Structure 1
Amino acid sequence: MSSSAPPPARPGPPVVRLVDLRETPLDVEEVLASLDDDAAGGLTLFVGRVRDHDGGKGVVGLDYSAHPTALARLREVCERVAADHDVHGVAAVHRTGSLAIGDIAVVVATVAGHRGQAFDASRDLIDTLKAEVPIWKHQRFTDGDDEWVGTP
């Protein structure tokens, strides 16, 4: 009598699908495409844009600088969020360099079996990215002042 074991499961796509820092404009469609998954019922997307004010002052633009370890740290954050949440996929991209009002500064997204899992993971992803990835913002104000945000 021979027993026939089922074939080994094919590995699915990696959970961390897209992680990058770029000086070029970010593409929301690229992030969405990286998370395409027929088994997922929920996909949440957060797009952070440069606004025209902060702290009651007008903003004319800003510059993002990243420490040389920032990309590795961003990947670590994505991997940790993926491990902490029941998700099928995670993506995060952040701009560096000079950005104008309305430019996209960051895009994070998660895909999961259900919306609640995707919402929870995406909130954790953006909040942890902002707290732990060494990316610094230099804001330029309409009154000529400037300010560094997120520096050590």
Structure 2
Amino acid sequence: MGANTLTPVIRIQREDFDLAAEIAAISAGRRDIGAVVSFTGLCRDEGATLAALELEHYPGMAEAEIARVAAQAAARWPLMGLLAIHRYGLVKPGDQIVLVIATSAHRRAAFEAADFMMDYLKTRAPFWKREHLADGTVGGWVEAKQEDDDAAARWT
């Protein structure tokens, strides 16, 4: 399966995911994969003030946009598999939010493709995040950070 025939798997779901099961599924029956790179993003509470993070999206549009960027990754690197899972709803500190897995014959392509996908998901994916604070108040919508935008700019 070359870069031109790869169909990335994109899932947006409320429920949690199992890293080991996802790696097993993406590499099942493949003896030609030399690298599996995964990134799991967790909900963090930097100041011990967060009760939960609320993630919203437009169903259909979010999947299509992520699939479009995943197709760019598949065209740019010689991947054998590419998976992106992003959760929505309320997630608590310590919970998993996002998973990206890239597989390739060689590590560099898998690392770069996973990094490219995460930079996109962090800065431009159509998700909206709002903080629910431990004191019971609901905070504002969270904006992308400049350092995340700077990291994503290197791919253009």
Give the structure-1-normalised TM-score. Answer: 0.81
Q: Find the residue that maps to 1:74 and give its secondary structure.
A: helix
Alpha-carbon contact 1:42-1:112 (below 8 Å) kept = yes
Task: Verify: 1:138 aligned to 2:130, yes or no.
Answer: yes
State the Cα distance separating 1:33 from its structure 2 match. 2.3
State the Cα distance separating 1:145 from its structure 2 match. 5.3
State the Cα distance separating 1:139 from its structure 2 match. 1.3
How many residues are aligned here?
139
- The 3 A distance-change label for structure 1 pair 30 and 78 is farther
Q: Distance in 1 between matches of 2:7 and 2:142?
A: 28
- Taking only the aligned residue pairs, the percentage that are identical comes to 28
Unaligned runs of 5+ in 2: 145-156
Residue pairs, 1:55-70, within 5 angstroms = 56=47, 58-68=49-59, 69-70=61-62
Match of 1:105 in 2: 97
Higher helix share: 2
83-92 vs 33-42, greater mean Cα deviation:
33-42
Task: Verify: 1:123 aligned to 2:123, yes or no.
Answer: no
Larger C-alpha radius of gyration, 1 or 2?
1
Unaligned runs of 5+ in 1: 1-10
Across the aligned residues of Structure 1 and Structure 2, the Cα RMSD in angstroms comes to 2.2
**Displaced runs of 4 or more, over 4 A:** none
Q: Distance in 1 between matches of 2:71 and 2:143?
A: 22
Deviation sequence 1:101-150 (CA, Å, 0-9, x none): 11110000100111111111100011112233201111123353513124
Q: Find the residue that maps to 2:33 and give its secondary structure.
A: coil
Deviation sequence 1:17-40 (CA, Å, 0-9, x none): 421100111221332123203211
Match of 2:150 in 1: none
Residue among 70, 73, 90 paired with 1:78: 70
Give the structure-2-normalised TM-score. Answer: 0.79
Higher strand share: 1
Match of 2:149 in 1: none
